[in-house]
A = this chain, B = another copy of it.
Amino acid sequence: MIKIGIVGGTGYTGVELLRILATHPKAHITAITSRKEDGLLVSEMYPSLRGRVDIAFSAPDKANLKECDVVFFATPHGVAMAQAPELLAAGVKVIDLAADFRMKNVAEFEKWYGIPHTCAEVLEEAVYGLPELNRDAIKTARVVGNPGCYPTTMQLGFSPLLKADIIDAGNLIADCKSGVSGAGRKAELGLLFSETSDTFKAYGVSGHRHTPETIEQLQRISKDQIGLLFTPHLVPMIRGMHSTLYARLNTEISNEDLQALFENAYKDEIFVDVLPFGSHPETRSTRASNMLRLALHRPNNGNTVVILVVQDNLVKGASGQAVQCMNLMFGLEESTGLMHVPVMP
């Protein structure tokens, strides 16, 4: 059994980790920390876990995280970088669901996240935790920066085209839509039911911090300079993310070959599902599962490819992907504990 610690388990990615790990055959949750909720049973905060997760929150200083095999950080940005060095020194692996270890470019990190990066040496060895594009590095990693939710969809949607070098890399548009849980479990007016239900809006249109993360990763697989225009929107639904991606072809290619390109790219991937050409995937087809589904369109048979990508932002977009990384880091079958069938309706 893998002894697991979770730092900051009171948010949505934390409780989703618990939901997944509660039925993971190799996971033993050893400690879960919360500064405010020391001593409270996890199942008192989350009655959905009654009878399934018996552990109580403990204050950070009381939790003996160094005895874990791996510690997940489901915390605000900045927490993981403060604690990672000591854990690594004790032989504990680290998976951060926040942004501390996502971007190699420290200047960009500090610009977008507004905090100094205090842990350059760990960042250097950190591995970007997107298994479909970075599997081998994750297997041997000691510290993983789990991707952002939006960046997961953008990378898995654009990368086959960039690798094949058949699109204008400098002119990518990603019009993305997320359920409200993506904003986290924070007592903010803007996230109230009465403020977000039965309405729709964009946010961060002039600039969002998932842009530099995505560009940094896409640049690794593109010969040309990446130019990305990313527009996030808030959808009145709890879970789910839908990215509508636009790319300009710079070569002649048939729809059949486009489809084959994606099917080949993901033919061995258990968590990426390429739908038939022209399909319209719904976010609910991935609800509460680690699946990402995508489909290709070629409107008017023109030179723009539209890629529709859906996932559950809390699973493949966060906690499920983190467990997928853990499985790789500990030599388990990659899908261990992650084979939930999506919940529909």
| A binding-site residues for B, Cβ under 8 Å | 12, 15, 19, 22-23, 46-52, 173, 175, 177, 179-181, 185-189, 191-203, 205-207, 227, 229-231, 233, 235-240, 242, 244, 246, 270, 273, 275, 278-289, 291, 293, 297-300, 302, 304, 306, 308, 310, 339-345
Q: Which of A177, A270, A283 has the largest number of chain B CB atoms within 10 A?
A: A177
Asked whether A344 lies within 8 Å of B46 as measured between CB atoms, the reply is yes
Shortest CB distance A50–B (Å): 6
Closest to A297 in B: B205
Q: Are B285 and A47 in contact (CB under 8 A)?
A: yes
Chain B residues positioned under 8 Å from A270 (CB to CB): 51
Decide if B193 touches A192 in the complex (CB within 8 Å): yes
The CA of A287 and the CA of B39, in the complex, are separated in Å by 26
Contact at A192–B194, with CB atoms within 8 Å? no
In the bound complex, do residue B185 and residue A189 qualify as a contact, i.e. CB atoms below 8 Å apart?
Answer: yes
Whether the pair A231, B306 counts as a contact (CB closer than 8 A) is yes
Q: Is the CB of B281 within 8 A of A201?
A: yes
With beta carbons under 8 angstroms apart, the residue of B23, B229, B235, B281 that contacts A235 is: B235
Closest B residue to A342 by beta carbon equals B48
Q: Are B344 and A48 in contact (CB under 8 A)?
A: yes
Instruction: Write out the residue numbers on chain B whose beta carbons fall within 8 Å of the beta carbon of A177.
Output: 177, 200, 233
A246 in complex: contacting residue of B200, B201, B206, B229, CB < 8 Å: B229
Contact status B202-A280, CB under 8 Å = yes
* A51 surroundings in chain B (CB, below 8 A): 270, 273, 291
List residues of chain B with CB within 8 A of the CB of A283. 199-201
Q: How far is the CA of A177 from the CA of B310 in the complex (A)?
A: 16
Chain B residues closer than 8 Å to A339, beta-carbon distance: 23
Listed residue (A187, A201, A302, A308) with the most chain B CB atoms within 10 angstroms of its CB: A201
Contact at B201–A194, with CB atoms within 8 Å?
no
Q: A233-B177, A280-B205, A285-B48 are in contact. Are A238 and B341 (CB under 8 A)?
A: no
Least Cβ–Cβ distance between A248 and chain B, in angstroms: 9
Question: Contact at B199–A284, with CB atoms within 8 Å?
Answer: yes
Q: Are B19 and A206 in contact (CB under 8 A)?
A: no
Give the chain B neighbours of A46 by CB distance below 8 A.
285, 344
Task: Knowing that A185-B189, A197-B197, A198-B240 touch, tell me 18 more A-B residue pairs with CB under 8 angstroms.
Answer: A48-B284, A48-B285, A50-B285, A51-B270, A52-B341, A177-B233, A179-B194, A180-B197, A191-B193, A194-B238, A199-B237, A200-B237, A200-B242, A201-B310, A202-B308, A205-B306, A229-B300, A230-B299
Give 8 closest A-B pairs by Cβ, nearest first.
Answer: A199-B284, A48-B342, A48-B344, A175-B175, A201-B282, A47-B285, A194-B345, A180-B193
Query: Are the CB atoms of A341 and B48 closer together than 8 Å?
Result: yes
A240 to B: closest C-beta gap in Å: 6
A189 to chain B, nearest CB (A): 5
Query: Do A196 and B199 contact each other (CB < 8 Å), given the known contacts A173-B173, A280-B205?
Result: no
A197 to B234, CA, bound (A): 15
A341 surroundings in chain B (CB, below 8 A): 19, 22-23, 48-49, 52
